[in-house]
Amino acid sequence: MMDAIGARKASIHPFTVRQASDNDRQQLLNLINHEIYVHRHLDWRAPLDWIGRSPYLVAEYEHTIQAALVCPPDPPEIAWIRLCAVSSAIDVGEAWKNLWPKALSELSGQPDSVVAAIPIQRWFSQLLERSRFTQTNNIVLLLWEYNTGLPPETGKPILIRSMVSDDLPRVQNLDASSFSPLWRVSLTSLELAFRQGTVATVAEDGHSLLGYQISTASPMGGHLARLAVHPDLHGQGIGFALVRDLLSRFQRRGAMRVTVNTQEENSASLTLYHKAGFRKTGETYPVFQYSCGSNME
């Protein structure tokens, strides 16, 4: 049986590959909203918000955009594939062969850069595998449900309050010290997360920021989008206190469920979430990486 990117469609030649501009917004919206072959990264920014950052490439034929590939670094040296979209009128593999080498050429100016993606659909996984991306991990989804109830409090009380915008520089510093480079976010992204978040809190001791979390609303409840505790303070119950407080706040809002994602190999996070009453749903998503120091195909 032929795979998704092996299916033959009418090839359109030649493509013109160029950087997207504001004039492309409507065509890009049509591509994103009406085509089947669309990968979108779970992001604080909509795909069109990245226009003006590079690489934001489109493949065009007779003034019609047939495909797009968006992977600007943010933070520096980490380039998540934010969007890969291809018209059903053309071959997916052909579009990728036109876009990916040009994107890689732009990113290879920083040989330590890493391109990363979390593909949900098989066609996109196949593209990555054939371009020598390596699967490095899996993301697992966990779920807390209302009837689980709040976990019992443990340890000494920890001061938790709502986050304010003035906290963000300290939050970003804590974030950078808590995550490996692949999973860090820029201050700009944190500012967007804070504005879009439904519940954002910090744990502190009156002098220092100990940890933080940012969560968003979902149709059935909420999603814990970001959680970090200062690396010198692990094992002191700060993460658990932040999660329990979050669940209490969502419970008061009438939320029926709260979800969270974490890496399959992150045993500390898994232990914390299980203690708080989360359970794995069985859903997993692969993480692929490509080092820009590698040779191009």
The yes-or-no verdict on residue 8 having pLDDT over 70 is: no
Supply 34's token pair.
């009406």
What's the pLDDT at 109?
76
**Local confidence band at 6 (pLDDT 50, 70, 90 cut-offs):** very low
Q: Which residue has the higher pLDDT, 221 or 297?
A: 221
12-43 pLDDT, tens digit each: 558 899 999 999 999 999 999 999 999 999 99
The per-residue pLDDT for 155 is 79
In the predicted model, what is the mean pLDDT of residues 149-164?
A: 91
pLDDT the model gives residue 294: 64
Listed range (107-111, 136-140, 275-279) with the worst mean pLDDT: 107-111
The number of CA neighbours under 13 Å toward the Cβ of 82 is: 22
Q: What is the pLDDT of residue 108?
A: 83
Q: What is the mean pLDDT of residues 136-157?
A: 93
May I ask the CATH architecture of the domain 4-131? 3-Layer(aba) Sandwich (3.40)
231-242: burial string, b at 16+ Cβ within 10 Å, e else? eeeeebbbbbbb
Mean pLDDT value across residues 170-182: 95
Q: Please state, for a pLDDT cut of 70, what percent of the chain lies above it.
A: 94
**Greater model confidence, 155 or 169:** 169
Q: Are 230 and 207 in contact (CB under 8 A)?
A: no
Q: How many CA atoms lie within 13 A of 5 on its CB side?
A: 20
CB-count burial class (<10 Å; 0-12, 13-18, 19+) for 292: buried
Each residue of 127-162: b (16+ CB within 10 Å) or e? bbeebebeeebebbbbbbebeeeebeeeeeebebee
Q: Which CATH class is domain 140-286?
A: alpha beta
Q: For residue 139, what pLDDT is reported?
A: 97
* Average pLDDT value for residue range 144-159: 91
d(CA 110, CA 79): 11
Q: pLDDT at position 69, please?
A: 98
Each residue of 225-248: pLDDT tens digit?
Answer: 999 999 999 999 999 999 999 999
pLDDT tens-digit profile of 32-84?
Answer: 999 999 999 999 999 999 999 999 999 999 889 999 999 999 988 999 999 99
Q: Start-end ranges of CATH 3.40.630.30 in the chain?
A: 4-131, 140-286
Q: What is the mean pLDDT of residues 267-280?
A: 96
Q: What is the pLDDT confidence band of residue 97, given thresholds at 50, 70 and 90?
A: very high
pLDDT value, residue 46: 94
pLDDT of amino acid 3:
52
Check if the beta carbon of residue 181 is closer than 8 Å to that of residue 77: yes
Looking at residue 207, its pLDDT comes to: 82
